[in-house]
Structure 1
Amino acid sequence: MNRTTTRAALRRRAALALAASGVALVVSGCGAFSRAEPPVCPRVVVLRDTAQAVQIEPGAKDVTGVRFLGRIADAQWTCDADTDDGKRYLDVALTVVIDAERGPAAPDATATAFDYYVAVADREQTILNKQVFRSDLPFPANRLKAGSKEELSIRVPLPGTSTGADYALLIGFQLDREQLEFQRGHSR
């Protein structure tokens, strides 16, 4: 063989060796880069009828009796799959953003609190679990508005072959009858 043929042969061998090592790296690296599919999270729904809450003076008939108005402004969530005692779960990290505004019946109030709920419902909209939480909102003397970010952890059991797509987290304010009637009579 002449020199040119030898160099070409060496280049081909080097290229083949490089290609073979590249394939080996890709094949061996597949396990290093593969991950389980992320879980499907439940839907999160802020229910329209309870997305706001009005705190009123007892017996109030119009908006002059409003002490505070609260709104669920946003909800953000992520979830992770978990197994505990052989049972499957989704652990949902939920952040509920609550905004509040001081009304005409509370000009000097410095704080309020709103109760809100998170309920787990199945595809048939049957409530499987409901928890009520409290959001405390301080109002500095010179402010008409306040807000809070409530960070919660909700565990959703996954029986059988169910996934997060089979469930929804329902969020709203926990209203008493008087609040609900007032809101329905004064909705915008």
Structure 2
Amino acid sequence: MTRIGSNSVLVLAGLAALLSACGLFAKKEPPPGPCSRAMILGDAEQMIRFRDGPGRDILDISYSGRLIRVFTDCEYEMNKDRTGVMAVRVYVAVEAERGPANRDRIAPYRYFVTLTDAKREPVAKNVFELTARFPGNVSRMVLTDDTVEMKVPIRAGQSGQNFTVFVGFQLSDEQLEFNRRTRLEQERAR
């Protein structure tokens, strides 16, 4: 059996205290700044694609989609003068539904991501595409896209709170008018 003398205990205690103090002098990274708020644009929250022709009945729907979730996370690359670049990653979820008029079981969705400043002026806008491929008897699924990243220069004193991310479907004039008309009809029915 090996005995540890009182001097050894003191040396070990001193070494432990010295090692724990090293953390006090280590250069600490500043905490990440807040991220931009993400919002789904009301009139562009859903889309319906009818088959070609004049019909606009439920049987004429090729496919429809609804944006069901969007959120962001941010990463900062800052200079000593507190200017830098903020990378905003946007995560999007779309509920895709195949309609009765869809024969090829494919539904392409185009959506936009717009980053605006504090005055709601666009800083960046990109359009992305997601495609649903409906296997077998599946007529509804959720698609996710997590590849969207936008970089924006930021000035000293700015953070993600100075920007807002808006997401919506890239709609035709006819689809936008259909959404607005449908929303008004639903509001009147309440």
Shared fold per TM-score greater than 0.5: yes
Task: State which of 116, 124, 137 in structure 1 corresponds to 2:119.
Answer: 124
Task: Tell me how far 1:168 sits from its aligned partner.
Answer: 0.9
CA distance in 2, matches of 1:34, 1:79: 19
Letter in 2 for 1:163: S
SS at match of 1:125: coil
Question: Does residue 144 in structure 1 map to residue 139 in structure 2?
Answer: yes
Question: Does residue 63 in structure 1 map to residue 48 in structure 2?
Answer: no
CA distance in 2, matches of 1:60, 1:31: 72
Q: Which residues of 2 match residues 15-94 of structure 1 at below 5 A? A: 23-32=17-26, 34-57=28-51, 58-83=53-78, 88-94=84-90
SS at match of 1:186: helix
Q: Write the deviation string for residues 41-82 of structure 1: whole angstroms up to 9, x where unpaired.
A: 111111222111111234333333221110112123321112
Which residue is equivalent to 1:180? 176
CA distance in 2, matches of 1:23, 1:49: 62
Whose radius of gyration is greater, 1 or 2?
1
Task: State which of 81, 89, 95 in structure 1 corresponds to 2:91.
Answer: 95
Q: What TM-score comes out, normalization by structure 2 length?
A: 0.78
Q: Is residue 117–residue 133 contact of structure 1 (8 Å, CA) maintained in 2?
A: yes
CA distance in 2, matches of 1:67, 1:186: 18
Residues matched between the structures, number: 176
Q: Is residue 56–residue 179 contact of structure 1 (8 Å, CA) maintained in 2?
A: no
Identity across matched positions, percent = 26
Task: Tell me how far 1:18 sits from its aligned partner.
Answer: 7.2
Which residue is equivalent to 2:3? none
CA distance in 2, matches of 1:133, 1:118: 8
Q: What TM-score comes out, normalization by structure 1 length?
A: 0.79
SS at match of 1:105: coil
Letter in 2 for 1:75: V
